[in-house]
Amino acid sequence: MSPQSPTLPAYLTEEILKNPERREFPPFELARLLGTVFEPTDGCRICILTDFEEPAGLMQEFAFLKEEGFEVQKNAHQHFFEALHEGVMAKLGMRGGEMFAYRSTMGSNLDFADEVWDVQGQELSLDRDIYPNYDLILCISTFSATAPLTAKCKEFGFRGATMHGMNDVILNSGLAVDYNEVSADAERMRFAMTGADTMEIDFALEGGRVLTASLELGGQDAQKSHGLCKGRAPDIANLPAGEVYFVPQDANGQFPMKYEDGTLGVLEVVNRDVVKSTLIEGHQETIDAHNARLADDPMTGTLGELGFGTQVLPVSYQDIQDEKVLGTCHLATGRDDHLGGDIVPEMFKKHENSTHDDILFAPHKTPNFMVKEVRMKRGDQEEVIIENFRPSQYVMEALSRRD
C-alpha cells in the first residue's frame, strides 16, 4: 500500500494508521451531524434522553449541572440540548428539543423501566408520553441503549441515535466525521466480508502462547453499523458508527479475556457458549465469580456478535468509539436481538443478566495479548482480515475501491 495512493482516503496513510491521533477532524457541528444522519429532518419533532441512578431530583431544573461528575449528561446538555435551542432546530426545520431522564439500567443494553422525568421534575411515561410523540430520539447515556430503543422504534415508529459514554474525544472525532463517507467505507468493507462461512482468530499471548477461536457464520450477509438513519422508516443509529458485524451461528475454541480489574483469563467456547474461564494472571476470585455467573445463567456466555472496526479514530477509552477503529475486532456475549439474532431478554434467568457485553481486542485495551491474525473463509476463498492489529492488504484494497 502506498501512502500517496490517490484511491485511498487521506486518513488511510501509513503514518495515520500507526498514529490515529494525528488524523485531523473538522469541528463538531450538531447541525451537520443530525442533517447527515437523519435526512430528512424538516418537520421532525426531536428530544433527548439521558440517564441517572436517581433522575427525579437531578433532572429537575437541570440540577445535575451544579454537581460534580456527570460528564456524559453535561455533554448532552451543552452540545445537544443547548445547540438545538440556539439555532440547530431552526436550521434543520425541527421542533421540540426537550430533554428527559430515565433511571439508569446499570448494564449494557438492558431494557428500560417506563418512568421518565422532565426538567420540571414531573414523572412521565416513555410509552405514553415520549415514544409516540417524537420523530427523532437521541439517547445520550451512561450505558448503551441500542437494543431497547431498536425494539421500541419498531413498535412506535420513531428514528433515533444512541451515543453512550460521550466524552470530548468522541465529540471531536467520532461525531465530527462525515457519515456519508463512513457509510461508504463500511459498505466497501462489508462487501469484502459478506457471505463468510468462517472466521478464525489467533490471539498471541505474552510468552508465545497462541489461542484460536473459530466462529461459524454460515455464509450469512454481513451487516454494517454505518451511522445513517435516512428516510422515514423506524431505525436506530449507534454513534460513533463504522463497523461490520456478524451474528455467529456457532463458535468453538479459546480466546483471552481481560477483566475490569486487570485479571487475565482464557475463555473456553463450546457450541457458541463460553463455558469456563481459567486464570492466566491476576485474581482467582474474579475468575471464580465469572464461572459462577456462567453456571447460574449460561445464556450470559452465549456469543451474540463478531464485529470489525472500519474507521481510523483516536483512542477515546470508551468502547463505543474504540471498537469502530480499523484493525480491531470484538466479540459480544448476551442478547443480540437488536442485531437480528435469536437471543432475547426472556431467555435469561434474571433481567439484569440480559445485557449485550462487548469484549474489545485493541492495543490500548489488551496490551497483554495481540490479535495476531483474523482469517476469513468463504467457499474456496481464504483471506486475512487483520494482522497484528492492522488491516490486511485485502481490506486496504477493498477500502481503496471507489467504483
Q: What is the pLDDT of residues 366-399, one digit of tens each?
A: 988 999 999 999 999 999 999 999 999 999 999 9
pLDDT at 147: 94
**Distance in angstroms (rounded) separating the CA atoms of residues 18 and 20:** 6
The span from the CA of 296 to the CA of 350, in Å, is 10
Q: What's the pLDDT score for residue 6? A: 47
Interval 329-371: pLDDT, tens? 999 999 999 999 999 999 999 999 999 999 999 999 998 899 9
pLDDT band at 139 (very low <50, low <70, confident <90, very high): very high
For residues 323 and 243, what is the distance between their CA atoms, to the nearest angstrom? 8
Q: What is the pLDDT of residue 395?
A: 96
Best CA proximity match to 249, nearest among 200, 202, 304, 211: 304
Q: Note the pLDDT tens digit of each residue in 241-274.
A: 999 999 999 999 999 999 999 999 999 999 999 9
For 11-63, the pLDDT digits (tens) are 788 888 888 999 999 999 999 999 999 999 999 999 999 999 999 999 999 99
Q: What is the pLDDT of residue 226?
A: 97
Question: For residue 9, is pLDDT > 90?
Answer: no
Mean pLDDT for 142-150 is 96
Alpha carbon distance 147, 346 (integer Å):
14
The pLDDT tens digits for 116-134 are 999 999 999 999 999 999 9
**Residue 2 pLDDT grade (very low, low, confident, very high; cuts 50, 70, 90):** very low
Assign 164 a pLDDT band (cuts: 50, 70, 90). Answer: very high
Q: Are 77 and 99 in contact (CB under 8 A)?
A: yes
205: amino acid identity, one letter: L
* pLDDT, position 7: 65
Could you report the per-residue pLDDT of 63-112, keeping only the tens digit for each?
A: 999 999 999 999 999 999 999 999 999 999 999 999 999 999 999 999 99
pLDDT band at 4 (very low <50, low <70, confident <90, very high): very low
Tens digits of residue pLDDT in 287-308? 999 999 999 999 999 999 999 9
The half-sphere exposure of 293 on its side-chain side, counting CA atoms within 13 A, is 21
Backbone angles phi, psi at 344, to 5 degrees: -115, 160
pLDDT tens digit sequence for 197-234 = 999 999 999 889 999 999 999 999 999 999 999 999 99
Q: How confident is the model at residue 238 (pLDDT cuts 50, 70, 90)?
A: very high
Q: How do the domains of the chain map onto residue ranges?
A: 30-171, 181-400
